[in-house]
Amino acid sequence: MAPETPSRRFSGKRLIVASHNPGKVREIGALIEPYGITPVSAGELGLAEPEETGLTFIANAELKAHAAAEASGEPTLADDSGLAVDALGGDPGIYSARWAGPAKDFALAMRKVNDGLKAAGADAPASRGAHFVCALSLAWPDGHVESFEGKVFGTLVWPPRGDQGFGYDPIFQANGQDITFGEMASEAKHAMSHRADAFAQLMVAVFTK
């Protein structure tokens, strides 16, 4: 059996974050800053957002990471994440951001999810299970990429609660918690979120502290 190819280590001090979403950039920045790494968003650099044509979270994360790494000439970290709802067959899934429309109106997206649950007769908490998924891909300008996927499981509540976080956070209550991600302090969320799960894997494999 051939030996497993070792991960490529990252030891730089600046990392491009391939996102124009301020909330996502803040969360990724909070995860990498303890390693002495300065996040620079694709938005700050004026990089275009590629069309997300992948059929999985990892495929879309890698697409975004490769595009920004090639355009910037620097290692780039990209995230593709979303909400998968059991009673909706895994929707909105990779289309989570698109459910918010061009205006990125997540109040509208959350209503769509809740309307879908009501239409499916998913009224009891036991029938409102869901999980967040986060794929993180770190790409280098030469085309090398490292990818990892994290998840966090919970239940969807209605109406939305809290104004912390972003996206679908106000309707997601992680298993074992009595508050939503929207009500949770960022430090507590970072300790258990799907993004933290994916980053923990990335950290072990790629980052040199």
Q: 190: pLDDT confidence band, cut at 50, 70 and 90?
A: confident
What 8-state DSSP symbol labels residue 3?
Answer: P
Class of domain 14-205: alpha beta
pLDDT digits (tens, 9 = 90+) for 82-126: 999 999 999 999 999 999 999 999 999 999 999 999 999 999 999
Enzyme catalytic residues: 80
Percent helix, strand and coil across the chain, each to the nearest 5: 40, 20, 40
pLDDT digits (tens, 9 = 90+) for 140-155: 999 999 999 999 999 9
> Taking the CA atoms of the chain, what radius of gyration do you get in angstroms?
17
The verdict on whether omega for the bond into residue 92 sits within 30 degrees of 0, i.e. cis, is yes
> pTM, whole model, 2 decimals?
0.88
Residue whose C-alpha is closest to residue 56's, from 76, 25, 86, 80: 80
Rounded Cα distance, 15 and 9, in Å: 13
Domain boundaries, the chain: 14-205
pLDDT digits (tens, 9 = 90+) for 114-143: 999 999 999 999 999 999 999 999 999 999
Give me the pLDDT at residue 26, please. 85
| pLDDT of 2 higher than 50 | no
